A and B are shown apart, each in its own frame.
Chain A
Amino acid sequence: MPEAALKWRSWNDEFVVYNDLTGDTHRLDAVAARVLQELSRHPATLDEVVSRLSADLGVEPDDELRTWAATALNLFRRLDLVESFVARGNGPS
């Protein structure tokens, strides 16, 4: 599968992103946008995303955070915003 080419704009900590591959435009809040931006630079596993989020936000890497991250990553994948994320922690593809 070809890689998505993403374009970003933001106002007041809210983000819109354009996916040149699909032609779709999406709106994201600051945390989701941060995750997506990082993923598009360096593919990562769910565990890696959770631990980085936990560090950045200063929260515990608990089940709630993990669930949120998994949902977000699945959504990105379904929307073809990231291709190389692997849900089961098998390392970047």
Chain B
Amino acid sequence: MDATSPGVGPGTLDALAAEGIHRRFRETGVALVTGPFVSEVRATVPRFVDDFCLLYADYPVHEKADFADFHVSVEPIRGPRGWFRSLAVVRLDDRSPFPPLSADQALPMFEWGLNWAIVNTAYQYLIIHAAAIERNGRAAILPAPPGSGKSTLCAGLVHRGWRLLSDEQALVSLDEPAITALARPVSLKNESIDVIRTFAEEAVIGCEVSETNKGTVALMKAPRDSVLRKSEPARPAWVIFPRYAAGSAAQLTPRSKADTFLHIGNNAFNYSIHGTRGFDALARVIDGCDCYDFAYGDLDEAVEVFAALADAS
């Protein structure tokens, strides 16, 4: 049995005592399980703890941390003289990959910090810069640069029959065509936040932070189902490059596999680390996938197109 599965041994975060949760984060830390990783999380920023408990309520936690893959701490620090807003810093095993930001951005910083940690240590995977979702055992990989609507599309689809594997980092196996689920919060920006609120009333969106360097940022909780089923397999079947444009009709256009290969390789987080093995792993993915560009302007239409894809073949 997998010691990181929910319901086996460890309970979930929301089952931990509500009383004293802040003290727990401050003193012993909480061993949070996300996908295949265990993170020991410590925090002395109260607002962060509340936001964190909202978004990570369904995730398994270990009673006692034994071996953790990552050690993340979120702490306040004093700004330079004359700076009145309180600042917070995220540390990974005592070193900080990012400069401090205002304390209300603590949760986005935690997410970036955990992303950074995964990318810099999890070399057991080929990590692609893409969202990934699954249906009927098959996965769609959605690579896209910022502003293409990938996260909005992903957030919408996981409330319409698709399981969330990841919003940012698709963990591809090096030996077989498989994607391992992370199922962490989905990052939404600006207009997308309201779009998703309207599109999926059941979506839990927390921690809206304005005035970041990316505009207004909010984190959407991964659907409970996606977290519970994180150990189920997902075999890549489609690579789809979304491009949102208002008024655009939903349209799938086949795309060169060789171009897709090169694009994914150039934008992956650790393709070049793996050398020949990375080349083979990515080729295996492309072998088994239909590759498309996808233009869309309306989420409901997009959902239909994706449903048709899943039903066909």
Distance between Cα atoms of A20 and B286 in the complex (Å): 20
Per-residue contact bits, chain B 276-287, to A (CB 8 Å; 1 contact, 0 not): 100110010011
Chain B interface helix/strand/loop/mixed: helix
Which residue of chain A has its CB nearest to the CB of B261? Answer: A16
- Are B279 and A18 touching (Cβ within 8 A)? yes
A75–B225 alpha-carbon span in the complex (Å): 51
A14 within 8 A of B: yes
Q: Which of B257, B272, B275 contacts A12 (CB 8 A)?
A: B257
Whether, in the assembled complex, A9 has its beta carbon less than 8 Å from a beta carbon of chain B, the answer is yes
CB neighbors of A among B78-125 (8 A): none
The reply to whether B259 and A27 form a contact with Cβ atoms under 8 Å apart is: yes
The answer, yes or no, to whether A67 is at the interface (CB within 8 Å) is: no
Is A90 interfacial (CB 8 A cutoff)? Answer: no
User: Is there an interface contact between A25 and B262, defined as CB atoms closer than 8 Å?
Assistant: yes
Is B265 interfacial (CB 8 A cutoff)?
Answer: yes
Answer yes or no: B198 CB below 8 A from chain A CBs.
no
Does A58 make an interface contact (CB < 8 A)?
Answer: no
| Interface residues of B, Cβ cutoff 8 Å to A | 256-259, 261-262, 265, 271-272, 275-276, 279-280, 283, 286-287
Instruction: Knowing that A14-B259, A25-B261, A25-B262 touch, tell me 13 more A-B residue pairs with CB under 8 angstroms.
Output: A7-B280, A9-B261, A9-B279, A11-B256, A11-B257, A11-B287, A12-B258, A14-B256, A14-B257, A14-B258, A18-B279, A25-B271, A27-B261
